[in-house]
Amino acid sequence: MNGRSGVIALAVLSLCSLALAEEREDRKFSDEKSFLVRSSEPFYIDVEVTAGEVIIEKGSSADSVTAVLDYTEGEFKPKIDFDEKRNRLLVKLTKRNWHSVNDKDDRNWSSVLVRLPSGAETFLDYRLKAGESELQLGGLRLKEVNISVWAGQLDVDFETPNLIPMDYLEINAKVGEAHLSNLGNARYKEASVDGGIGQLDVDFSGELEPDSKAWIDLDIGEATVVLPETVGVRLNVGGMFGFLSSKRISGSFFKRGRFYYSDDYDDVKTKSTFHITPGLGELRIEGK
């Protein structure tokens, strides 16, 4: 082989190697793992995703948790780590090049499915930078829930009541749309909902705990807050920049001091308090 032929052969070999490498980089990969948790002890789960579609729901087992990750090799860095001693699971899917998340190429997207055990007292911490989230959290034993989404669409639903009272529920939706349904069924003692920029729909229907308290903080956009019909409601609407918002309150309320009260507040046993801080935009409050 003369020198010129050798150079050509090496060039062809390099191109073939590059093509194979690119093929490997673009290969879709699926990783599924299940673990048995100790349902007699608190179970902690942290889910952290950079970009993609995330579903978190009740599983079919009382003491088993399952995580399924679908992603493109080379674009994402996965981690599923169960610490048996601490009864703690970390599910993490990190985008290697964060600047390419907005690229329409599906290589930059992923999907995550987590099925939670129904028998363990669970502490859930969920964080997503960009994407779509669907959390069906009814019928579980959730003790504390923290949800934070930087950008995208967030859907949270407690279709059936939480099996135990929840100490604290925190939901933070920074940019995009958030639809929160049947939050009363979370059976929270205290809740905090922070809406950033975009649309926020919050429905507190369900089986609320007596003397529960919720804080709803709004920034910019359109918001609808549906108050529960099954409890006596005490409502405070105010804040430093409340005059910048358009507010509409429907329902039967009377005002006493700085609070609004549902007409049956003094007659019913179970009562709940809501503090709403309006932002810049339109706020609709729907009562009974």
- Given this model, what pLDDT does residue 103 score? 53
How many domains, in total, are found in the chain?
Answer: 1
Which range is least confidently modeled, 87-101, 119-133, 246-260? 87-101
Task: Indicate the pLDDT class of residue 96, thresholds 50, 70 and 90.
Answer: confident
For the chain, give the mean pLDDT: 89
Q: What is the pLDDT of residue 30?
A: 92
DSSP-derived 3-state class of residue 268: coil
d(CA 205, CA 224): 13
Model pLDDT, residue 102:
54
State the Cα–Cα distance between residues 186 and 101, nearest whole angstrom.
33
pLDDT at 101 over 60: no
- Report yes or no on 108 lying in a domain: yes
Indicate whether 13 pLDDT > 80.
no
Q: Residue 9: which H helix or E strand, with range?
A: helix 3-26
Average pLDDT over residues 174-201: 97
- The residue assigned the tokens 């749309």 is 177
Please report whether residue 14 resides in a domain: no
Q: Tell me the CATH number at 54.
A: 2.160.20
Q: Is pLDDT above 70 for 141?
A: yes
Q: What is the CA radius of gyration of the chain?
A: 24
pLDDT at site 73: 87
pLDDT at 98: 61
Q: Is residue 103 situated within a structural domain? A: yes
At 89 the pLDDT is 98
Q: How confident is the model over 57-67, as a mean pLDDT?
A: 97
Q: Does the pLDDT at position 214 exceed 70?
A: yes
The per-residue pLDDT for 107 is 74
Residue 5 is assigned to a structural domain of this protein: no
List beta partners, residue 112.
54, 69
Distance CA 20, CA 234 (A): 65
Mean pLDDT of 207-217: 97
- Looking at residues 148-168, what average pLDDT do you find? 98
**Mean pLDDT confidence for 77-87:** 97
What is the residue range of 114's domain? 28-286
Kindly give, in sequence order, each residue whose CB lies less than 8 Å from that of residue 5, ignoring residues fewer than 6 positions away.
Answer: none
Integer Cα distance of 101 and 107 in angstroms: 9
Residue 12 is assigned to a structural domain of this protein: no
In a domain, 23, yes or no: no
Q: Is residue 17 assigned to a domain?
A: no
Q: Is residue 188 part of a domain?
A: yes
Average pLDDT over residues 16-21: 41
Q: Given a cut of 60, is residue 108 above it in pLDDT? A: yes
Q: HEC string of 93-129?
A: EEECCHHHCCCCCHHHCCEEEEEECCCCCEEEEEEEE
pLDDT at 20: 39
Cα angle vertex 20, ends 15, 26, to 5°?
125
